[in-house]
Amino acid sequence: NKFDKFDIVVIRENEEDVYTGIEHRLTGDSYQCTKIITRSGSEKICRYAFEYAKKHSRKKVTCLTKDNIMKMTDGTFHAAFDRIAKEYPDIKAEHYIVDIGMARVATEPENFDVIVTENLYGDILSDIVAQTSGSVGLAGSSNIGNEYAMFEAVHGSAPDIAGKNIANPSGLLNAAVHMLV
């Protein structure tokens, strides 16, 4: 691994975006997927990111969106980030367009601390961060709600290798550590 030391926390909204699964056929050969972003959901996850940073003595929160193209949906998320960031003047806030932001995370992860983003981007980014740190198989994941939480390996249950005695339990063990913390 060419990166000796980096420590990135990816915080992603986990109920909105294209993960709502709203898709339909428009014509015989065209389909549409609906991206849902709410102001309230955006504010909630951005606040969570800054509260996490504050509680864990983190210095910076980075927001990733594609609001240069998706001005209403990603623009809403970015605006929520900017509003919430003003409430935390001791924590540096920065924003990148998602493509250059992810490229920078992959090549200079040591320059990032806490990253907050929407569901799809966060899914992709968490795999990039995990792979950059050594392997997607090593990373644990936490899904934190108001009343409940769920913990799992980033890669999921990996049923394709079940029973072959080749699974690396590190991701599951790291998720268990997240749960105990």
Q: How far is CA 138 from the centre of its chain?
A: 16
Say whether pLDDT at 24 is over 90.
Answer: yes
Q: What percent of the chain has a predicted confidence (pLDDT) above 90?
A: 62
The reply to whether 115 and 176 lie within a common domain is no
Residue 91: per-residue pLDDT: 98
Crossing angle of helices 73-85/39-55, nearest 10°? 40
Cα→Cα distances 3→10, 34, 37, 144, Å = 18, 38, 34, 29
Residue 32: per-residue pLDDT: 95
Segment 14-24 shows an average pLDDT of: 92
User: Is 24 part of any domain?
Assistant: yes
Residue 132: per-residue pLDDT: 81
The reply to whether 54 and 101 lie within a common domain is yes
- pLDDT tier, 120 (very low <50, low <70, confident <90, very high otherwise): very high
CA dist 115 and 110 (Å) reads: 12
The reply to whether 69 and 141 lie within a common domain is no
User: Is 1 part of any domain?
Assistant: no
Say whether pLDDT at 1 is over 70.
Answer: no
pTM: 0.88
Quote the number of domains for the chain: 2
The reply to whether 43 and 124 lie within a common domain is yes
Provide the domain limits for residue 28: 9-134
The reply to whether 124 and 46 lie within a common domain is yes
Q: Which long-range contacts (CB under 8 A, 24 or more apart) does 147-156 make?
A: 149/179, 151/175, 151/176, 151/178, 151/179, 154/126, 154/127, 154/130
How confident is the model over 35-72, as pLDDT tens digits?
A: 999 999 999 999 999 999 999 999 999 999 999 999 99
Cα→Cα distances 45→27, 80, 81, 115, Å = 36, 9, 9, 11
3-class DSSP state of 16: coil
